[in-house]
Amino acid sequence: QSALTQPASVSGSPGQSITISCTGTNNDMGTYNLVSWYQHYPGKAPKRVIYEGNKRPSGISNRFSGSKSGNTASLTISGLQVEDEADYYCCSYVSSGTWVFGGGTKLTVL
Amino acid sequence: EVQLLESGGGLVQTGGSLRLSCAASGFTFTNYAMTWVRQAPGKGLEWVSTLTNIDGSPHYADSVKGRFTISSDSSKNTLFLHMSNLRTEDTAVYYCAKTAMVYARGFDYWGQGTRVTVSS
C-alpha cells in the first residue's frame, strides 16, 4: 500500500494552466481510470474535484480536468485563479473497498 | 444536505484506546459505504478504513490492521472507528467520508475532521 507519487509542489500565475501528475503501478492504477482528485484547504474538509479520471462533480468548474495514460493520471487546472491555491491529492480505487492516495501536491498561485 | 460530523478525538498516551464517531445525515446511511481517512501533521491524506455497504465487510490499511476496528450503528446513522494500541504515528486529523455509490468514484462528501494526538 505505497502512496501514489505526486510532485510536492507546482506553481503558476493567474490565468495560466498547470498539470499535476500522479503515478502508480499496475496494481494500484490498473487498466481502468479509477482515479479521483481532491482539493484540500488546510483545516477544511477535502473536496472531490474529479472522479473516474475525467468526470467533474456537479458544481466543479470546467477549469478542472483529468486524464490518464498508462499508470500516470493527471489533473489540469486551466485559467488559474488565486482561490485555486490549495493542496491536491489523487486517489485510486485499488480493489474491494481499498484505496490509495497520492502524497499530495501544494499548488501555489503566484 | 449531506452532513458528516466527527467527534471523539483527543489526547491519549501510547498504547491507549480511543473511539471516534461520525454522525451522518442527509442521505440513506445504509445505502453507502463509509470511510475514514487521516492526515498526520505535515503529511498527506491516508486511506485508513472502509465499511462496505454491500456485505458490511471492513477493510483496513496495513498500518492500522489489527489495531483499528470500523463499525456502524445504522439506527443512529453513525460510523465509528475504534482505535487501540495507539502509536505516536497515529497522531492525525481523522476525516469521515461518504463513499460514492460506485466505489471507483471515490469520496463525495467529507466531514471537518477530528484531531487525535498520541503522546508518549
- Along the 120 residues of chain B, how does pLDDT read in single tens digits? 999 999 999 999 999 999 999 999 999 999 999 999 999 999 999 999 999 988 889 999 999 999 999 999 999 999 999 999 999 999 999 999 999 988 889 999 999 999 999 999
Spans of chain A below 70 pLDDT: none
- Residue pair B63/B46 in contact (Cβ under 8 Å)? The answer is yes
Q: Does A1 touch chain B (CB under 8 A)?
A: yes
Q: Give CA–CA dist A98/B70, Å, rounded.
A: 14
Q: Give the pLDDT of residue B81.
A: 98
- Within a 13 Å sphere around the CA of A70, how many CA atoms are in the beta-carbon half? 5
**Residue contact B33–A102, C-beta within 8 A:** no
Q: Give the pLDDT of residue A23.
A: 94
Q: Give CA–CA dist A88/A107, Å, rounded.
A: 7
**Preferred mutation among B55, B105, B108, B109 to probe A, highest tally of A CBs within 10 A:** B105
Q: Give the pLDDT of residue A33.
A: 81
Q: Give the pLDDT of residue B102.
A: 87
Q: Give the pLDDT of residue B92.
A: 98
Q: Which residues of A touch B46 (CB under 8 A)?
A: 3, 101
